[in-house]
Structure 1
């Protein structure tokens, strides 16, 4: 499944700020600094005009101790709103990272995550098999409502709880739609059931016996 990529730049704070100042001074590859330069802000903002069919964008980096973290990339449509596709978002990130790499003459480390995501990054293979078993046999117009479907769904929920899996509700919903071909409405409902079940089972674990 395709996902939004992420960017982290790590190193001494003075080198991180110096890298941001280089972008401000040189404005390479069409990028320009879009926040007050030298104001000591913890958020650095950059803008880029439309290119190669991608809309104009604004990119935000959050400055934490020893790290610059990509906070968001949004289309710069003024009052018209809108959002970037995953492809547009990742292309913009790659273009920005390439520009930074050209300016980085220090020991800063740059980490860019992959745009490919697997559910087994967050749950075990056994849990994935239980999810696939539920998905393959369930009626996609009724979700987990049929007793037999609910039993298979419950086995998956209990498995991920026992694993203390890091699976996020939004990731599960997207996986159901993009990889298992569920309709969006039922994917969202199942993801909501998943979140409720995780909270309920965690609360039960914390209840004195």
Structure 2
């Protein structure tokens, strides 16, 4: 992939950042285009022509093909790399966590963060299930990471990339990570492995 691909994303979105991180980690040339999601940037005719679903991130490949959905994009970018296990079962374990991230983690931790940080809603006005189920997700991760260095085993995979994005921002959604020592150690390992450094705060 010699010609650069174009990533359309919001710099405050973990889903968008994971695409940026994988491209940079693997040395894939990429151009980043900011999309102001709260400001309606995904609803313009120009953006909807690229992704009728009106969501970021998307990538436009050098040949003009468009790919959406963050986890699908990073699987495409990382194909053949060490971020995707070669053996069938470890690869399936990686995908298991990636599917879980979009179904049981992001809808609670990321959504609560968005409502508190971007929409400036008061915690007492939020659906209590966001806090309850987000805490359930963190407890499951903590138990898993107490037994292995990374989510799908002893090597970093896309599962870790997918899940570190919003986990390291979880405090902005009202989730205190102080009691999750295994998660905090894992965040550091993944940040070091990707070369992204510690989280410096919201965009």
Q: TM-score, normalised by structure 1?
A: 0.28
Query: Which protein is richer in strand relative to its size?
Result: 1
Which has the larger Rg?
1
Structure with the higher helix share, 1 or 2: 2
Q: TM-score, normalised by structure 2?
A: 0.28
